[in-house]
Structure 1
Amino acid sequence: MSRTVLYARVSTSDQTAAHQLKQAEAAGFQIDETVVDEGVSGVTTRLAERPQGRRLADMLRKGDVLVVRWVDRLGRDYSDVTDTIRSFMKQGVIVRTIINSMSFDGATSDPVQMAVRDALIGFLAATAQAQAEATREAQRAGIAHAKERTDAYRGRKPSYTRAQLDTVVAMLDQGESISAIAQVTGLSRQTIYRIKDDRAEAEAALSRWAA
């Protein structure tokens, strides 16, 4: 007896397998079993490398229906997605998507239908990879933006090291001239004056930059 299996990949806290099951049922699927990979990135991890993804090839039989929200659930890139769908079709498994109600199976022997099917698989897999790459780029941009904001909060990076600051403070306490301190430490007179005028801030700047 054939079964209808929902495969759900949940990679972030705002996604849930229950939500994907609800979407499947709303699309008219009667799900017999749900297989879930939680905390798994779809843009870095192949289906065969996911704990539950590996189960699918063993548990599915000819005539079974594999339901996924979209083809991107089945791989990390174009090659992975297309290879996965074709592998399931060879097993006699029908792959269906919740979004747009796509259906892929290997039952047809008509060359034109096969060509159309394979072209559609390739197009959808390419689209999924493009979306994944756009997501990665957005993540990189977000990280860079956050880093810039953090650096701005920390202020300008100190032009002196811990050793130089300690030397400046010690020589100031000994009554040495600014010129003499600059010659010994290699720091500019302006930097030494700033340290002299506000030692607490000089220390705080080093702490903010973990220097």
Structure 2
Amino acid sequence: MGNQYAYIRVSSKEQNEERQRAAMLEYGVPAKNIILDKQSGKDFERQGYKRLMKKLKRGDILIIKSIDRLGRNYHEILEQWRILTKEKEAAIVVLDMPLLDTRQNRDLTGVLIADIVLQLLSYVAETERKFIRQRQAEGIAAARARGANLGRRPKDRPPEFAAVKAAWENGEISARSAARRLKINHMTFKRWASNC
């Protein structure tokens, strides 16, 4: 038997991965073999996942908590599953779905059932990703309709802005010099100057 690796993923730096990590440690995965990504599951361009792919060898076992932790793109999940099981010849265990344990039920019926379940769960994961994006867009639209400011708070202009702007308009200093005096980016200075 090869090495055991666990892959855990959360969608953002604010989310907590401890529930997944605890499940992997309880399953018996060595802490040094737990690989984490704090990134969206929309594709597989993730540093941790790429590192995992370099480590996985024939006979190794990859453990994930649920299929949506692997990813949320239907076609890419199916492709990665094929690469992992057929090209790398690693086994996959999905803790929340015992039917997706490639170490078991290797007969034709078992493989068929696992393939159907994988396709269904991959579809659900991608559909959920689409719903998340739709809910985000609706939330942003509702916030804007209420007059909420969704960006960073605009930087206040320093008291000396008017004098520096006048010097710039008179050609006494460049926009970059004006920006340096105000301790701001020169593009910010130009934007402020054009909005006055």
Query: Does the CA contact (< 8 Å) of 2:100 and 2:114 recur in 1?
Result: no
Structure 1 regions of 5+ residues with no counterpart? 153-209
Give the SS at the match of 1:150. Answer: coil
Of 90, 96, 101, the residue aligned with 1:104 is: 101
Q: Residue deviations 1:81-121, cap 9 Å, x none?
A: 11111211112212112323443327765322222221111
1:137 matches 2:137: no
Displacement over 6 Å in runs of 4+: none
Query: Does the CA contact (< 8 Å) of 1:88 and 1:94 recur in 2?
Result: yes
Letter in 2 for 1:116: I
Structure 2 regions of 5+ residues with no counterpart? 150-194
1:17 matches 2:14: no
Letter in 1 for 2:4: T
Question: Structure 1's 13 and 54: CA in aligned 2 closer, same or farther, altered over 3 A?
Answer: closer
Distance 2:104 2:53 in 1: 18
Counterparts of 1:20-31 in structure 2, within 5 Å, are 20-25=20-25, 28-31=26-29
Residue 4 of structure 1 is matched in structure 2 by: 4
Residue 147 of structure 2 is matched in structure 1 by: 150
Query: Does the CA contact (< 8 Å) of 1:82 and 1:122 recur in 2?
Result: yes
Q: Looking at CA atoms only, which structure, 1 or 2, has the larger radius of gyration?
A: 1
1:61 matches 2:76: no
Distance 2:66 2:91 in 1: 14
Query: Does the CA contact (< 8 Å) of 2:99 and 2:117 recur in 1?
Result: no
Deviation at 1:4, TM superposition (A): 1.5
Distance 2:14 2:148 in 1: 29
Q: Residue deviations 1:24-51, cap 9 Å, x none?
A: 33xx41012111112x1113xx22x111
Question: Structure 1's 67 and 35: CA in aligned 2 closer, same or farther, altered over 3 A?
Answer: same
Distance 1:98 1:107 in 2: 13
Residue 125 of structure 1 is matched in structure 2 by: 122
Residue 164 of structure 2 is matched in structure 1 by: none
Distance 1:59 1:2 in 2: 11
Q: How many aligned positions are there?
A: 148
TM-score, reference length from structure 1: 0.62
Distance 1:15 1:151 in 2: 24
Residue 204 of structure 1 is matched in structure 2 by: none
Deviation at 1:150, TM superposition (A): 1.5
Query: Does the CA contact (< 8 Å) of 1:5 and 1:66 recur in 2?
Result: yes
Question: Structure 1's 109 and 9: CA in aligned 2 closer, same or farther, altered over 3 A?
Answer: closer
Letter in 2 for 1:93: A
Distance 2:85 2:110 in 1: 14
Identity value in percent: 25
